[in-house]
Amino acid sequence: MADNEDVDTNEEEKAEGGSKKLLIIGLVAGLLLGGGGGAGAFMMMSGGEEAAEHHEEEVVEEEPKVDTQFVKLERMTLPLVQNNRILGNMVIDFSMEVEGDENKMTVIRNLPEIRDAMLRHYSNASLGKTDNPRNVDYPRLKKTLKDISNKLLHDSLIVRVMIVQARQF
């Protein structure tokens, strides 16, 4: 009987040793196939060396960054005029985009003159649309503020004008 037990344990040890070897071989084969397949897919998707060289050329062509600043022009009251008659008033908040700190300081120093020029312009000109004077023509208002400001500053310092808030009363 002891001999039968020894034979059974030897067979179990051989079976366990064989299954461990098969498990290790299976894992190594899986890693090789999976890693090779992943590397092959990566190489096919990258487009080869030509795409890498083209990508380097694009990086060289970057434009230098410009420090964009905003100058606020708050609570500007403009009249809604039609045929020399005041229909109402608009209180408008603007933000003017300039490039660089030096230009920002120049615009800030000239804000009272810009306000004065805008009030003088819109005391005679219509702020509203031609077909409905009670509705503000925002694109024309933005363009006018930009043009008047740049003319007053004797340089095109104002890049863009944004209307932050507009209230009619």
Residue where one domain finishes, among candidates 22, 43, 60: 60
Residues 6 or more apart whose Cβ sits within 8 Å of residue 126: 80, 81, 82, 133
> Which range is least confidently modeled, 29-33, 70-74, 84-88, 163-167?
29-33
| Highest mean predicted confidence (pLDDT) among 1-10, 54-63, 72-81, 139-148 | 139-148
Residues 53 and 89 placed together within one structural domain of the fold: no
Of residues 80, 95, 58, 89, the one with CA closest to residue 137? 80
- 85: pLDDT confidence band, cut at 50, 70 and 90? confident
| pLDDT for res 7 | 47
End position of a domain, from candidates 36, 60, 84: 60
Residue-number span of the structural domain to which 17 is assigned: 2-60
Q: Which of 60, 87, 104 is the last residue of a domain?
A: 60
Give the span between the Cα atoms of 108 and 118, in whole angstroms. Answer: 15
Q: What number is the average pLDDT over the span 8-34? A: 68
Instruction: Give the best-scoring range by mean pLDDT among 17-21, 23-27, 100-104.
Output: 100-104
DSSP line for 38-55:
HHHHHHHHHT-HHHHHHH
Question: What pTM value is reported for the model?
Answer: 0.58
User: Residue 120 forms beta bridges with which residues?
Assistant: none
> Quick count: other Cβ atoms within 10 Å of Cβ 115?
13
Does one domain contain both 56 and 76? no
Identify the burial level of 117 via C-beta atoms within 10 angstroms of its C-beta, where 0-12 means exposed, 13-18 middle and 19 or more buried. middle
Higher pLDDT, 134 or 4: 134
Pairwise CA distance, residues 115 & 7, whole Å: 105
54 and 83 in a single domain? The answer is: no
Is residue 10 domain-shared with residue 76, that is, in the same domain? no
Instruction: Kindly report, residue by residue over 105-152, the tens digit of the pLDDT.
Output: 999 999 999 999 999 998 888 888 888 888 888 999 999 999 999 999
Same-domain check for residues 115 and 81: yes
Structural domain total, the chain? 2
Instruction: Please report the pLDDT score of residue 81 as a whole number.
Output: 82
In the prediction, which pLDDT does 26 show?
79
Query: Do 37 and 110 have their domain in common?
Result: no
